[in-house]
Amino acid sequence: MNTQTRDLTGKVALVAGATRGAGRGIAIMLGEAGATVYCTGRSVRGQPSDLNRSETIEDTAELVTAQGGLGIAVRVDHTDEQQVRQLIERITAEQNGQLDILVNDIWGGEKLTEWETPFWQHSLSNGLLIQDRVLKTYLITSHYAASLMVGNRCGLIVEVTDGIDYSYRGSLYYSLAKIAPIHMAAAMAVDLRPYDIAAVSVTPGFLRSEEMLDHYRVTEENWQDAVHGGIQHAEHFGESETPYFVGRAIASLAADPQIMEKSGQALSSWGLSDEYGFTDIDGRRPHWGNYAAAHGLGQQE
């Protein structure tokens, strides 16, 4: 399958955590393929989340529509079960009971993770809040979305994470939040298989998100300057990918008629690029798996 064969016209998707980063890139690439995309998150115009960044779900929805899909912004705190239930009820009413794709990409742990800190010295309240913002939100949203999909006996659930294996990721709380979705997808796949609904986990490589660009004090136009900027780990930034790369990975999965063959697997943007042949929007095909293997960084495929 190549870029031209990703056709999701008539499909309905929900991207939970579509405000920025991978979630925004995924929503926009689903729109590029023709899908209707519900873009949810906590940051709306005039009311940012506690992360206090400028990106909003309205911006994302407009970008989805500009790419040829239909973007619908809905403010939802996915830790709140009632808000998620109301979201699924709204989708049910507006889309005649149709929901084909769920992508969980909620994070919000940027300021909560204390790197190079033993777990017993790490703030327990911050560590538990990380679990709320990932594990709790993924479970709540998948619970209600799957109930809708089961009635239609089709669908795809994607749990976005960091990595494809169970290795330690530098912080117990971060590791738990990123490893659990891998098993979550594998377990859901077993329960959902009789209903022809696939569940997978997907990871990007080194993500060139808005926040990462800010961290390296560059823009998308001059991002490669960061490689020689003297900032920690910047030497690996040259193998980074835009959020649209993992977006095209998930759009390719959603358009694959043989998706059930992958149900339960832990997949990567670079591995799916190898299989489906898509490129990043800048024409590159970054391969974090090969790069990590060559530099002894782990998270290989």
Q: Is 166 a catalytic residue?
A: no
DSSP state of 97: T
Locate all alpha helices (DSSP H) within the chain, ordered by sequence. 21-32, 57-66, 81-94, 124-131, 137-152, 172-192, 210-215, 243-254, 269-276, 288-295
Contact 42, 31 (CB under 8 A): no
In single-letter form, the type of residue at position 9 comes to T
Query: For residues 10 and 69, what is the distance between their CA atoms, to the nearest angstrom?
Result: 9
Per the residue annotation, which of 38, 174, 244, 291 is the catalytic one? 174
Are the beta carbons of 240 and 286 closer than 8 angstroms? yes
Which amino acid is residue 89, in one-letter code? E
Strand partners, 75: 41
Please identify every residue annotated as catalytic.
174
